[in-house]
Amino acid sequence: MHAQLLRPVDQLSVEHAAGVHTLITDIDDTVTTDGHLTAAAYLALERLHQSGLRVIVTTGRPAGWCDHIARMWPVDAVVGENGAAYFWFDSASRKLKVHHHLNPAQRQEQSVRLQAVAQQVLEAVPGCALASDQFCRLYDLAIDYCEDVARLDPAAVAQIVQIMQAAGMTAKVSSIHVNGWFGAYDKLSMSRTAMRDLFGLDLQAERERVIYVGDSPNDAPMFAYFPLSVGVANVRDFQNQMSDLPTFVTRARSGQGFAELAEQLLAQRAGAGLAQGSVRR
């Protein structure tokens, strides 16, 4: 699909940047660095948002975190738990709102099934653990393979994926967790829903005007979908495990790479004569 992949991000041109109205980004190891949100990365996010770009974050992180992020971060929406729900702060009513993939009764039924698979994984794969943030998840089973436990080898990670898939779950490997869920949704499908519901935009028709930033195999479908996709430098760590690679790659890793992309994008947009606040909505 892409003529050339992993191009240096300084090749992102005025022509690329001029039409962009939305930035969609992963959080872990893309905006954050070694598990922390640095001032530089947060400032980059704030500058992007203040420039008039619509900013949407997509993450495998739990619903409980998304509630916080949608309320407090400089973002327009948060797609959480790998696409199970999206959250936004409605400034007119001054309320946090959520769009769920399933209704409450369906979520209850599903959580029983999730617990059974969790038990199976914990018994079969020594050294893994439930992610520490499992308690505030609604849809997802997150198995920690290197965040709070000693890093497991790739064979153990593959075994976790296999158990989840055998139980009928979709399984994705992020840089810290293996996430499993029932259902066919993903970050992309729920981003499409959020863009339609919140902004009246057809993501398919708009995808050349959206820039996506990520770092790991669970971002590969987004890299494939958006012609303007960017990996922070640590995406190269996963290069051989990924079905699709981003068009551009930053020099710096993680949050510093995100700040590098923000600087390039904002400079090119300024070059295109896009004044602050000129694009969003």
- Note the residues at the interface with Mg ion (CB under 5 A): 26, 28-30, 215-216
Q: Which is nearer to Mg ion, 176 or 265 (CB)?
A: 176
What is the DSSP annotation of 251-267?
SS-HHHHHHHHHHHHHH
Distance CA 259, CA 277 (A): 19
Shortest distance (Å) from residue 266 CB to Mg ion: 22
Distance CA 120, CA 188 (A): 29
Cβ(85)–Cβ(101) under 8 Å? yes
Q: Looking at beta carbons, which residue is closest to Mg ion? A: 28
Shortest distance (Å) from residue 255 CB to Mg ion: 11
Handedness of CA 13, 281, 225, 43 (dihedral sign): positive
Say if strands 77-80 and 85-90 run parallel, antiparallel, or are unpaired: antiparallel
Q: Which is nearer to Mg ion, 26 or 186 (CB)?
A: 26
Q: Which is nearer to Mg ion, 81 or 89 (CB)?
A: 81
Shortest distance (Å) from residue 174 CB to Mg ion: 5
Shortest distance (Å) from residue 254 CB to Mg ion: 9
Q: Which is nearer to Mg ion, 28 or 140 (CB)?
A: 28
Q: Which is nearer to Mg ion, 177 or 209 (CB)?
A: 177
Shortest distance (Å) from residue 72 CB to Mg ion: 20
SS3 content of the chain, % helix, strand, coil (to 5): 45, 20, 35
Cβ(249)–Cβ(9) under 8 Å? yes
Q: Which is nearer to Mg ion, 41 or 201 (CB)?
A: 41
Angle at 85 between CA 80 and CA 32, to 5 degrees: 10
Shortest distance (Å) from residue 60 CB to Mg ion: 8
Cβ(178)–Cβ(142) under 8 Å? yes
